[in-house]
């Protein structure tokens, strides 16, 4: 049997025998309404290589596959200094009573092991929006930190709407990064297997 085939089979067996393919460990998930905006703070240990996690987070056009709330994602422009102008359209519901679409244009600054995205308010359905994602290799996987501060331009009912918005943000954040981990595991595994087979 060729060396490449042996490497692929060994890698596949290793993946199948791994006790927990998705082993995202949530260390912190706080969602609150502070003054004039919603704030999400998320910290977790992902069972995937840091370079693969970074590659997934920078694959902007694939965001709809990571977050079911995102219906469209496309790059409007970029430069060699690591700045990306990103358009996303989201569809969200607060419970079963209130659903609507929201578009956002962001200036994304790519830094080593970090993304900083700032909403362009004139072109977005938000009064404020900033997102910071950070990742680094840790304990054989990736330590991830995520902070979102956002306030939509549209009205949200203050009595029950805030609670529903907080629940939606909490569930969406956890789901999104579970998917990030899953995709990063597959791509990271493929890279390691490819290197072994050479």
Distance (Å, whole) CA 97 – CA 89: 20
pLDDT for 118 equals 98
Return the SS3 of 139.
coil
Residue percentage of the chain with pLDDT more than 90: 69
CA 185 from centre of chain: 14
Mean pLDDT of 28-36: 96
66 or 96, greater pLDDT:
66
Mean pLDDT of 65-74: 96
Q: What is the DSSP letter of 123?
A: G
Nearest 10 degrees: Cα torsion 183, 186, 188, 190? -140
- pLDDT exceeds 90 at position 185: yes
pLDDT for 4 equals 44
Phi, psi angles (nearest 5°) of residue 16: -65, -30
Measuring CA to CA, how many Å separate 105 from each of 117, 131, 181?
9, 12, 25
35: left (phi over 0), alpha (psi -120 to 50) or beta: left
Q: Which domains does the chain have, with CATH numbers?
A: 22-188 (3.30.530.20)
192: left (phi over 0), alpha (psi -120 to 50) or beta: alpha
Q: What is the mean pLDDT of the chain?
A: 86
pLDDT for 135 equals 98
Mean pLDDT of 123-135: 97
pLDDT in tens, 130-174: 999 999 999 999 999 999 999 999 888 887 888 989 999 999 999
Q: What is the DSSP letter of 42?
A: E
User: Which pTM does this prediction carry?
Assistant: 0.83
- pLDDT exceeds 80 at position 34: yes
Helix H or strand E encompassing 119:
strand 114-119
pLDDT confidence of 10, banded at 50, 70, 90?
very low
pLDDT for 98 equals 73
pLDDT for 166 equals 93
Distance (Å, whole) CA 150 – CA 147: 10
């Amino acid at each position: 049997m060729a060396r490449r085939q042996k490497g692929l089979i060994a890698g596949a067996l290793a993946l199948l025998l791994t006790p927990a393919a998705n082993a995202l460990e949530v260390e912190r998930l706080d969602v609150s309404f502070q003054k004039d905006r919603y704030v999400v703070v998320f910290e977790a240990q992902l069972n995937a290589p840091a370079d693969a996690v970074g590659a997934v987070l920078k694959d902007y056009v694939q965001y709809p596959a990571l977050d079911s709330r995102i219906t469209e994602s496309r790059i409007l422009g970029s430069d060699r200094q690591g700045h990306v102008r990103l358009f996303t359209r989201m569809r969200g519901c607060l419970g079963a009573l209130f659903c609507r679409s929201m578009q956002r244009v962001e200036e994304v600054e790519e830094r080593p092991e970090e993304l900083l995205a700032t909403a362009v308010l004139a072109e977005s359905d938000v009064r404020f929006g900033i997102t910071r994602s950070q990742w680094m290799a840790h304990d054989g996987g990736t330590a991830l930190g995520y902070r979102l501060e956002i306030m939509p331009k549209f009205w949200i009912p203050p009595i029950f709407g805030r609670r529903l918005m907080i629940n939606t943000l909490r569930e969406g954040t956890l789901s999104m990064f579970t998917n990030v981990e899953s995709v990063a595991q597959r791509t990271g595994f493929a890279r390691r297997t490819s290197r072994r087979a050479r």
